[in-house]
Structure 1
Amino acid sequence: MDPLKALADAERKPYWLDSPAKPEPLPRLLKDTTADLAVVGGGFSGLWAALMAKERDPSLDVVLLEGRRIGWAASGRNGGFAMATLTHGIANGLERWPEEISTLERLGAENLDEIGETVARYDIDCGYERTGELNVATEPWQLDEMNESVRIAHELGIRFDVLDADQTRAEVNSPTYIGGFWERDGCAMVDPARLAWGLRQACLSVGVRIYERTPVRNIKDTHAAMELLTPHGTVRAARVALGTGVFQPLLRRLKHFLVPVYDYALMTEPLSAEQLASVGWHNRQGVGDSANQFHYYRLTADNRILWGGYDAVYYNGGKIKPEYEQRDETFVKLAGHFATTFPQLSGLRFTHRWGGVIDTCSRFSAFYGQSHGGRLAYAAGYTGMGVGATRFGANVMLDLLAGERTERTELRMVKEKPLPFPPEPVRSAGIQMTRWSIAQADLHQGRRNLWLRTLDRMGLGFDS
């Protein structure tokens, strides 16, 4: 496969959002209004918070404000892996909250079950498939780390099916695989944009008022109420749930904990029956390889292959710009890696190429908190695993706003904050050193250099 030829006709837009199913925009807010709960952000965090607030108490008046379109940012651009993990994998959770890991894994599994129940209850057409994830090794050093993950999973009663090279290739046929494991119960595949649009409709059906193209410019605490200022109207609300991810924070303290990292993906044309047979993939799992710089990939409903990951790019200064969503250097690299993984698909072409920004924090999993005397709650920092975990985060926000002590709010994971990032330019220098170091680790059998070992000791280690 010639990467440039394969990319020649690829449109520069997210595949999921380039769909005839995309709904017409809802009206802007054009006058002042009041609400019991105002939700800021129309991605998964905000949509889940608004929907579940009404499910908890149908009498609540809930308003959701989205600055652009529902699902237009990370929620509509990701790979569509709805993971059970709340901690960016068992290893990360065990390193940080060992005494809670059994509880966190149980809560994550329950959360994923409840996502499936919600999809069924509201008849959301998002291609929900509970197929699990196939984790594959392409280098011998990755097998050692996989074996440790499997051992821990078995101790926790989680089903990881270990596969040798032949068994792995029988699931998905690539000459690069030397082994793997199938996490059967911990992942569902979805069309993320359709999930967001389906949650939008579910919110509307239970009486949530949604205003699109209504950016919140400022939040003021008048003591009598929280005031959310938009270009053409103000919302006065008793409570606020903030789900804006990494974008310009309305709460100043969040800027110290979040950095924007850009992730990129490609989508192929639909595979023919012969092409699909050459790959296998009968069980339609999501797939992730096990390098530090990893790829994630999956089949769509019409048997395209989404191929993403590897480069996680931080632009110095932490700026967010539309032009960063296209990076030809990464697209060519990804196309070349695809050709190495699936040489039998040498004639396949890509139809879409895109990127998007992820909200990353130093512990690589979401953190939570309150401000303004408990009248505002937030959840952020999902680091690329928010399709499933945002629902849990929305529940945490609602618990906090209600002043309830629940199993969720009593977790140390929920009570603690990640370490803040240093100010610029030290922040950029440290992140770029880390990116270089993890690339070097992949080139040297996973061996972590002094910089990475230092981060590990500080609780900042990152290996995927």
Structure 2
Amino acid sequence: MNGQVSLSSGFVNGDVSFWYRSSGVPSPGPRLDGDLQADVVIVGAGYTGLWTAYYLKQARPSLNVVVLEKDFAGFGASGRNGGWLTGDLAGSHQRYAATHGAEAARRLQREMYASIDEVIGVCEKEAIDADVVKGGVVNVARTPAQAARLRASVSAARAWGIEESDLRLVDPAERLRVAGAVAASWSPHCARVQPAKLVQGLARAVRELGVTVYERTPVTEIAPGRAVTPFGTVRARHVLRATEGFTSRLKGLRRQWLPMNSSLIVTEPLPASFWETVGWQGSELLGDMAHYYMYAQRTADDRIGFGGRGRPYLYGSRVDARGHTHERTVEALWKLLIDFFPAAASSSVAHAWSGVLGVPRDWCSTVHVDPATGLGWAGGYTGHGVTTANLAGRTLRDLVLGERTALTALPWVGRRVRAWEPEPLRWLGVHTMYRLYRMADHRERSMPGTSVLARVADLITGH
């Protein structure tokens, strides 16, 4: 690095993520060894795949459920995310309402809120110690333009059944003190979680229920009735795709969901005096209203995990191998962190990493099972997957079992979205979008309202 970042003596870049640092990166378990027959085969052992397996076996213990994973359970976004168990909708209220009506969008929002407590309840039931604390979330505005967007978003939320008790404006220093904050909001619907502990605990729970998880078993093709790997084919009535940001690696699905990169850094543990100085006494999550936004948590061992966009997209929908992050991204995140919290400048960066999340063309998540072919999927969580994956798992359970429930009537079920454009159009579009967002954030330092550049960026990619 160029010396602008204070790195700890044990600094690590990549190696999947910091969340595995205390336990060590898991050694992958047994791989598939020959052809198999099952009732349900799930491709991907992240949150979506594991939650689906968990709820299926809870509902029908006799089902033969097999999970196939290319590396180890939790290798992807489930073991690399920012640890936000958030009630924010994985998509746009307006877009769901446009196809299914406003009340359907409100029901989806209520289910998202309820899913937070569902995850917490399962952690308690299954003795999954994932450092979960439901401390809510604070979003700050640091410019007049951001403050205007914040106030407008809180006002608009009322139309979607989000009451004062769900989301409200607060004094910028009420819960934690961010340098330069001029406005803030707070919602109780968010919990901190240690992502790797959650996914590893969930993997243990599904194995104990009798689900077979084959690791080191990449799936090369999905078709009705089968999932094909180099080591054998698993045949099943239902084949469910739970590959989120890695979907582009499957045959014929390169343009289905855009693999968007997000990066994080985590500091060394900070002293009690720091937390007192900034007023961060609870386990609130922290976000902001910038277009090129950030997200942060106070970890269980008193570090700051601080994330944002680095290199947002790799040409050809490529994905990284083990989370290595570009030096400029580490520098940018560190600079922003100490801009938010100048008192953290005496600390240093212990770890940096990246992961990919799935983004559909309309930025709205989907869940679906085709009763004719038995093929199904869930994903495209646009960065809200920790909570949404749980709702997806319960919904896939009902769809696979052929049950008509309140979950199968939600507006994201069966949603069809057109594919992303071929290269180089999608690379140009995404990079232009984020360049415009960065420029808009810079211009808004001296503007009362949202820059037209941000509106142009939204139009380019349908954000």
Calculate the TM-score normalised by the size of structure 2.
Answer: 0.90
Matches for 1:70-81 after TM superposition, within 5 Å:
70-81=73-84
Taking the aligned partners of 1:346 and 1:29, their CA distance within structure 2 comes to 49
CA distance in 2: counterparts of 1:172 and 1:92, whole angstroms: 33
Matched, 1:148 2:152: yes
For 1:185-204, list aligned pairs within 5 A. 186-204=189-207
Letter in 1 for 2:399: L
Q: Deviations over 1:136-194 (max 9, x none)?
A: 11111111111122223345143213112xxx22422222211201111x211100000
Match of 1:177 in 2: 181
Distance 1:227 1:206, change over 3 A: same
Q: Structure 1 regions of 5+ residues with no counterpart?
A: none
Question: How many percent identity over aligned positions?
Answer: 31
Distance in 2, Cα, partners of 1:144 & 1:315? 33
> Is the Cα–Cα contact under 8 Å of residues 261 and 313 in structure 1 kept in the other structure?
yes
Q: 1:324 to 1:424 in 2, by over 3 A?
A: farther
Cα distance in 2, alignment partners of residues 450 and 116 from structure 1: 40
Q: Which residue of 1 aligns with 2:72?
A: 69
Quick one: distance in 2 between partners of 1:91 and 1:142? 21
| Larger mean Cα displacement after TM superposition, 364-373 or 145-154 | 364-373
Bigger drift between 369-378 and 69-78 goes to 369-378
Name the CA distance, whole Å, in 1 between partners of 2:311 and 2:226. 36
| Residues 1:232 and 2:221 are matched in the alignment | no
**SS at 1:29 equivalent:** coil
> 2-side partners of 1:97 and 1:179: how far apart?
34
Residues matched between the structures, number = 452
Partner of 1:16: 19
Tell me the distance in 2 between the aligned counterparts of 1:125 and 1:449: 46
Q: Which residue is 2:141 aligned to?
A: 137
1:21-420 aligned at under 5 Å gives the runs 24-88=27-91, 99=102, 100-155=104-159, 156-158=161-163, 159-164=166-171, 168-184=172-188, 186-221=189-224, 226-249=225-248, 254-311=253-310, 313-322=312-321, 325-370=324-369, 373-420=372-419
Q: Deviations over 1:354-401 (max 9, x none)?
A: 111121122223123345823110012111110010111222323332
Partners of 2:247 and 2:175 lie apart in 1 by 43
- Kindly indicate whether the alpha-carbon contact (under 8 Å) linking 1:260 and 1:358 is maintained by their aligned counterparts in 2: yes
Deviations 1:406-428 (A, max 9, x none): 33333333232234211112222
- Indicate conservation of the 8 Å contact 1:37/1:239, yes or no: yes
RMSD across aligned C-alpha pairs, in angstroms?
A: 2.6
Residue by residue, what CA displacement relative to the aligned partner does 1:236-278 show, whole Å, maximum 9, x if unpaired? 2221121011325576564333111111110001111222222
Question: What is the distance in 2 between the residues matched to 1:383 and 1:263?
Answer: 11
**One-letter code of the match for 1:188?**
A
Pair 1:21–1:206, CA change in 2 (3 A): farther
Contact 1:97 1:413 in 2 (8 A): no
CA shift for structure 1 position 442 = 1.5
Higher alpha-carbon deviation: 268-277 or 81-90: 81-90
Q: Indicate how the Cα distance of structure 1 residues 242 and 297 shifts in structure 2: closer, same or farther if over 3 A, else same.
A: same
One-letter amino acid of the structure 2 residue matched with residue 369 of structure 1: H
Where does residue 435 of structure 1 map in the other structure? 434
Q: 1:258 to 1:294 in 2, by over 3 A?
A: same
Cα offset, 1:453, TM superposition:
4.3
**Do the aligned partners of residues 126 and 229 (structure 1) sit closer, same or farther apart at CA in structure 2, a change above 3 Å counting?**
same
Asked if the contact 2:105–2:411 (Cα under 8 Å) also holds between the matched residues in 1, the reply is: no
Separation (CA, whole Å) in 1 of partners of 2:317 and 2:249: 16
Report the secondary structure of 1:58's partner residue: coil
| C-alpha distance in structure 2 between counterparts of 1:346 and 1:65, whole Å | 44
